[in-house]
């Protein structure tokens, strides 16, 4: 390849897309380096799919530019399409075709020669563990296996850039773990962009994360920095058997507790504790309950919802770089 | 070109793997045989195949949309169009591939009618010229109907809508030659020339007129051009 390794594999500058009057994304800019796995995190309708469709050349932006491997997605669309592997969210497949036939077709329309095609088809079948389903009709495969066929076609032509829209949606938990490991393995060799609305997934798979919300970039960071920033917002849910009034006051008096709300479930009090500090209050709470001789039935940190994370990140006082 | 053939080959395989291919073939064979037998059963029968060439215009307006309806509509419904359009394939290569596949399907339904020609030559001595020109006319007419079908298929994600739309357009284009009498004057000629059936008649009589060939070529090219545009427009929505 003629490209310089120093230039970023994906460069996006001020990308804006309007659907009629409504902006799907506004002034999105980011770059992805060669071999990097970038997570695209955002709730539904945040603009993830729109951005990916622009990058793959499926639709043009209203304004702004995007370059993949140095090629402009609008002016050099065919070149761009040669360099990408794409897995759309719905995993569209020809249901009436067999797995091998389908992969062969996808290889052909990407201009792969016979030998390369045959070698790669057997490779991707191994990678995606489709060995037992070579000749099965795609329409008869389960959702998880279709997902694998979708991934297989995306990596078939050894693309430099892999674009995956919600690759783990709608498949069972074991397959989710497998898929994540698979994607992790693509880093280094391929440059990967994947979108998701699951926060832990990003920290597991990606080296860098872009959070977008309502079409705008809210934060760009490494996943561990992000969790750091989001710390101190932990919430705990505790089930305690004991006199509720006492429990309430005792919990409120603990240092680091901001607020306690209470809901009863059967004869047990369920307390929702909002903490302010960054320290872990779980030990303090369990000690307190033991000292008072109450019963500690459950103690669970509650994860923030994506919406809350966005609120947090868009708060004016948060330390955005 | 390679991409076009790849797509055409894939579509052709899919078509012949479905029962639709054989149903359409059987329906056309039965209808052609019926029209053929009636045409040679008169008092002074002519040893020609005109009997089924002319009624084929009506049969094709119904069968062609069924051949083409899934070609682009299903890709839209399944979402596979997104993968096809993000592969390094040009839009016109997609359209041409689909069109070639449709042509192969159409040629396949003509194959069983060769039996009627064999029967005719067995029992009579027909003039071979009009037979060949008749088939050429049918192929050209078929091309035109398929291109309308493909355009309709690109406009909808629903196969039924695509088929009904194409049938509607084709029926209107077919009745234009009847409507022309009411137009009068210069418009009569104009409307008559626009009708897709008018141009088939000379072929059926054994006359190969370049202006009829040009008509079908331009008509088909224009429809395919609109189909490419319609695909392209998905990128701009």
Q: Are residues A209 and A237 in the same domain?
A: no
Query: Which residue of chain A comes nearest to B13, CA vs CA?
Result: A97
Question: Taking 80 as the threshold, does the pLDDT of residue B177 lie above it?
Answer: no
Compute the radius of gyration of chain A from its Cα atoms: 24
Q: Could B78 and A94 be called an inter-chain contact, meaning their C-beta atoms sit closer than 8 Å? A: yes
Q: Are residues A36 and A137 in the same domain?
A: yes
DSSP state of B41: S
Chain A CB contacts of B81 under 8 Å are 92
Is A312 within the bounds of a domain? Answer: no
What is residue A156's predicted lDDT score, i.e. its pLDDT? 93
Closest CB to B78 among A78, A92, A153: A92
**Contact at CB, B17 and A78, closer than 8 angstroms:** no
Number of domains in chain B: 1
pLDDT of res. A152 = 93
Same domain, A139 and A263: no
The CA dihedral of B158, B159, B162, B165, to the nearest 10 degrees, is: -100
Q: If you search the block for the tokens 């990058």, which residue do you land on?
A: A55
Say yes or no: A248 and A155 in one domain: no
Structural domain span for residue A266: 232-304
Q: What is the predicted pLDDT for the residue at A233? A: 58
Q: Are residues A73 and A170 in the same domain?
A: yes
Q: What is the pLDDT of residues B28-71, one digit of tens each?
A: 999 999 998 888 887 777 778 888 888 898 899 999 999 999 99
Query: Is A86 close to B86, i.e. CB distance below 8 A?
Result: yes
Q: Which residue of A has its CA nearest to B80?
A: A92
Beta carbons of B86 and A94 less than 8 Å apart? no
Task: Specify the CATH number for the domain of residue A184.
Answer: 3.40.50.300
- Gap from A218 CA to chain B (nearest CA, Å): 26
Domain count of the fold of chain A:
2
CATH number at residue A250: 3.30.70.3190
Please tell me whether residues A82 and A159 are part of one structural domain.
yes
CB pair distance less than 8 Å for A109 and B87: yes
Which domain range does residue B165 map to? 2-235
Partners of A86 on chain B (C-beta within 8 Å) are: 82-83, 86
Find the closest chain A residue to B236 by CA distance. Answer: A59
Chain A residues whose CB is inside 8 A of the B87 CB are: 81, 106, 109-110
Per-residue pLDDT at A266: 65
Residues A195 and A85 in one domain: yes
A314 assigned to some structural domain: no
Q: Which residues of B touch A (CB under 8 A)?
A: 2-3, 6-7, 10, 14, 17-18, 78-90, 234-237
**Residue B191: per-residue pLDDT:** 77
Q: CA of B39: how far to CAs of B36, B53, B130, in Å?
A: 5, 11, 15
CB pairs under 8 A between A and B: 67
Residue B181 binned pLDDT confidence (cut-offs 50, 70, 90) = confident
What ipTM was assigned to the predicted interfaces of this complex? 0.87
Q: Is the pTM of this model over 0.90?
A: no
**Residue A318 included in any domain:** no
Judging contacts by C-beta atoms under 8 Å, the chain A residues touching residue B235 are 58-60
Query: What is the model's pLDDT at position A318?
Result: 42
In this complex, the residue of A88, A96, A108 whose CB is nearest that of residue B82 is: A88
The pLDDT of residue A229: 66
B68/B179 Cα distance (integer angstroms): 27
Alpha-carbon gap: B148 to the closest alpha carbon of chain A (Å): 24
Is pLDDT above 90 for B92?
A: yes
What pLDDT score does A6 carry?
60
* Closest CA–CA distance from residue B74 to any residue of chain A (Å): 9
Residue of A nearest to B71 (CA): A94
Return the structure tokens found at A161: 């850039």
Per CB distance under 8 Å, which residues of A are interface residues toward B?
19, 53, 56-60, 78-79, 81-82, 84, 86, 88, 90, 92-97, 105-106, 108-111, 153
Assess whether A174 and A294 both reside in one domain.
no
CA–CA separation, B59 vs A69, rounded Å?
Answer: 52
Provide the shortest C-alpha distance from residue A198 to chain B (in Å). Answer: 24
The per-residue pLDDT string of chain A (321 residues; one tens digit each, 9 = 90 and over) reads 444 456 688 999 999 999 888 889 999 999 999 889 999 888 777 888 999 999 998 889 999 999 998 899 999 989 999 999 999 988 999 999 999 999 999 999 999 999 999 999 999 999 888 889 988 999 999 888 999 999 999 999 999 999 999 888 878 888 888 888 888 888 878 899 999 888 778 888 888 889 888 888 888 888 777 766 666 556 788 888 888 888 888 888 888 888 888 877 666 788 888 877 667 788 888 888 888 888 888 888 776 666 666 666 666 544 443
pLDDT at B221 (0 to 100): 96
Is the predicted pLDDT of residue B10 greater than 50, yes or no? yes
- List of residues 6+ apart from B157 with CB closer than 8 A: B73, B76, B77
Q: What is the pLDDT of residue B146?
A: 96
The residue in chain A having the minimum alpha-carbon distance to the alpha carbon of residue B74 is A94
Judged by CB atoms closer than 8 Å, whether chains meet at B86 and A60 is answered as no
- Give the CB-side neighbour count of residue B75, counting CA atoms within 13 A: 22
pLDDT number for residue A5: 53
Flag if A96 and B6 touch (Cβ within 8 Å): no
- Chain B hits for A105, CB-CB cut-off 8 Å, are 6, 10
A256 and A114 fall within a common domain: no
Assess whether A141 and A242 both reside in one domain.
no
Which pLDDT value is given to residue A230?
65
- Quick check: A28 and A34 in contact, CB under 8 A? no
Q: Within this chain, do residues A113 and A246 fall inside the same structural domain, yes or no?
A: no
């Amino acid at each position: 390849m003629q490209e310089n390794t120093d230039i970023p594999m994906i460069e996006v500058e001020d990308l804006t897309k309007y659907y009629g009057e409504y902006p799907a994304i506004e002034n999105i800019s980011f770059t992805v380096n060669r071999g990097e796995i970038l997570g695209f995190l955002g709730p539904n309708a945040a603009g993830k799919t729109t951005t990916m469709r622009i990058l793959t050349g499926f639709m043009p932006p209203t304004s702004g530019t995007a370059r993949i491997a140095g090629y402009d997605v609008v002016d050099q669309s065919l070149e761009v399409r040669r360099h990408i592997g794409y897995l759309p969210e719905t995993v569209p497949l020809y249901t009436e075709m067999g797995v091998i036939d389908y992969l062969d077709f996808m290889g052909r329309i990407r201009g792969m020669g016979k030998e390369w095609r045959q070698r790669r088809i057997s490779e991707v079948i191994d990678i995606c563990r489709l060995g037992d389903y070579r000749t099965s009709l795609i329409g008869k495969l389960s959702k998880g296996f279709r997902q694998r066929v979708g991934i297989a076609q995306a990596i078939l032509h050894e693309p430099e850039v892999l674009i995956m829209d919600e690759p783990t949606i709608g498949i069972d938990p074991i397959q989710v773990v497998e898929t994540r490991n698979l994607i992790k393995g693509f880093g280094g060799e391929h440059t990967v962009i994947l979108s998701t609305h699951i926060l832990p997934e990003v920290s597991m798979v990606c080296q860098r994360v872009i959070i977008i919300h309502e079409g705008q970039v809210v934060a760009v960071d490494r996943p561990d920095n992000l969790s750091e920033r989001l710390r101190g917002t932990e919430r705990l849910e505790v089930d305690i058997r004991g006199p509720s009034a006492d429990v309430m006051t005792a919990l409120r008096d603990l240092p680091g507790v901001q607020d306690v709300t209470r809901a009863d479930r059967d004869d047990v009090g369920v307390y929702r504790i909002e903490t302010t500090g960054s320290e872990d209050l779980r030990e303090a709470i369990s000690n307190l309950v033991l000292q008072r001789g109450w019963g500690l039935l459950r103690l669970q940190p509650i994860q923030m919802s994506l919406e809350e994370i966005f609120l947090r990140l868009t708060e004016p006082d948060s330390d955005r770089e | 070109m390679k991409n076009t053939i790849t797509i055409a080959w894939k579509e052709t395989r899919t078509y012949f793997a479905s029962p639709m291919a054989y149903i359409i073939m059987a329906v056309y064979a039965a209808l052609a045989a019926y029209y053929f037998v009636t045409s040679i059963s008169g008092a002074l029968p002519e040893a020609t195949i005109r009997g089924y060439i002319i009624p084929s215009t009506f049969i094709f307006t119904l069968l062609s949309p069924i051949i083409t309806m899934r070609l682009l509509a299903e890709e839209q419904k399944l979402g596979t169009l997104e993968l096809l359009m993000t592969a390094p394939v040009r839009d016109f290569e997609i359209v041409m591939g689909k069109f070639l596949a449709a042509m192969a399907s159409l040629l396949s339904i003509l194959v069983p009618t060769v039996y009627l020609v064999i029967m005719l030559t067995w029992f009579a001595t027909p003039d071979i010229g009009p037979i060949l020109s008749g088939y050429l006319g049918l192929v050209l007419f078929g091309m035109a109907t398929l291109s309308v079908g493909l355009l309709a298929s690109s406009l909808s994600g629903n196969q039924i809508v695509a088929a009904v739309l194409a049938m509607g357009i084709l029926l209107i284009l077919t009745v234009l030659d009847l409507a022309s009498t009411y137009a009068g004057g210069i418009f009569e000629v104009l409307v008559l020339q626009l009708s897709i059936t008018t141009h088939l008649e000379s072929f059926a009589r054994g006359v190969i007129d370049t202006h009829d060939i040009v008509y079908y070529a331009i008509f088909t090219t224009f429809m395919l051009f609109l189909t490419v545009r319609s695909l392209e427009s998905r990128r701009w929505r």
